[in-house]
């Protein structure tokens, strides 16, 4: 399973990339705004840090404008993936980008039929937003399972990129259900490392190590 980081903070990306566990990066307009950096500049910098796919979202919602943005952004670096919202004009745009050989990530997916439409037009990735479904009192993880079954039934090559991940349990369940990739915020990646028994065990080893005869 591929691990992506869901952030536009260069320092976070550099730190996680150094660990050797990072396969790619996803950004969205909210994360870019939070970084307080210039849009194309910060994404260009991220593309130089990470070899794998870096998702960059279009800011418009009509076909012509989205296509124009996608063509422009895809020139920033070879590893750019164009993120397109799951609306009719977006699906039309993904169809066109597939024909042009430009990689896409269809975002804001909240149902299995939506995911099926994205696969029909050859999306490279589909991003089901797990945490936001949980927020409404439903089980977001069921969506991963449904999409996995549909894509497997028809051999759709579109990769499931579990998004809106809020805690390590989401990360674990998405991998158990066969998501191809999971995009995880920096704070959640750090949480995965945290286990009280790891900390207690390490403290004890370090204490006992003082008595080792070298």
Q: Taking the complex as a whole, how short is the minimal distance between the CB of residue 95 and ligand E4P, in angstroms?
A: 21
Nearer to ligand E4P, 135 or 203 (CB): 135
Nearest distance from C-beta of residue 159 to ligand E4P, angstroms: 13
Return the number of the residue (99 or 139) whose C-beta is nearest ligand E4P.
139
Q: Which residues contact 166 (CB under 8 A, 6 or more apart)?
A: 130, 131, 134, 188
Measure the CA–CA gap between 7 and 17, rounded to whole angstroms: 13
Catalytic residue selected from 34, 48, 83, 194: 83
Report the alpha-carbon angle 46-49-54, nearest 5: 45
Binding site for ligand E4P (CB under 6 A): 6, 26, 28, 107, 127, 129, 131-132, 163-164, 183
Looking at beta carbons only, is 131 or 178 nearer to ligand E4P? 131
Alpha-carbon gap, residue 154 to 140, rounded angstroms: 22
Q: How many residues does the chain have?
A: 214
Question: Is 83 a catalytic site residue?
Answer: yes
List the one residue out of 143, 189, 205, 214 whose CA is nearest residue 26: 189
**Residues whose CB is less than 8 angstroms from the CB of residue 93 and which lie 6 or more positions away in sequence, other chains included:** 58, 63, 66, 67, 70, 84
CB of residue 105 vs ligand E4P: minimum separation in angstroms? 7
Task: Rank residues 117 and 182 by Cβ distance to ligand E4P and give the closer one.
Answer: 182
Q: Shortest gap between Cβ of 1 and ligand E4P (angstroms)?
A: 16
- Active site residues per annotation: 83
């Amino acid at each position: 399973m591929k691990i992506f980081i869901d952030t536009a903070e260069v320092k976070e990306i550099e730190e996680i990339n150094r660990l050797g566990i990072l396969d790619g990066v996803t950004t969205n307009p909210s994360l870019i705004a939070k970084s307080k950096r210039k849009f194309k500049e910060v994404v260009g910098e991220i593309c130089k840090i990470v070899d794998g796919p870096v998702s960059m979202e279009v800011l418009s919602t009509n076909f012509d404008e989205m296509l124009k943005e996608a063509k422009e952004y895809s020139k920033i670096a070879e590893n750019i993936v164009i993120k397109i919202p799951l609306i009719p004009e977006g699906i039309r745009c993904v169809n066109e980008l597939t024909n042009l050989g430009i990689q896409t990530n269809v975002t804001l997916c909240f149902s299995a039929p939506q995911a099926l439409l994205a696969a029909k037009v050859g999306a490279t990735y589909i991003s089901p937003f797990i945490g936001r479904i949980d927020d409404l009192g439903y089980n977001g993880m069921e969506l991963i399972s449904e999409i996995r079954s549909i894509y497997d039934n028809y051999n759709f090559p579109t990769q499931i990129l579990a998004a809106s991940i809020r805690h390590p349990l989401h990360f674990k369940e998405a991998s158990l259900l066969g998501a191809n990739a999971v995009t995880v915020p920096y704070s959640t990646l750090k949480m995965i490392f945290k286990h009280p028994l790891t900390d207690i065990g390490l403290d004890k080893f370090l204490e006992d190590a003082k008595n080792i005869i070298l």
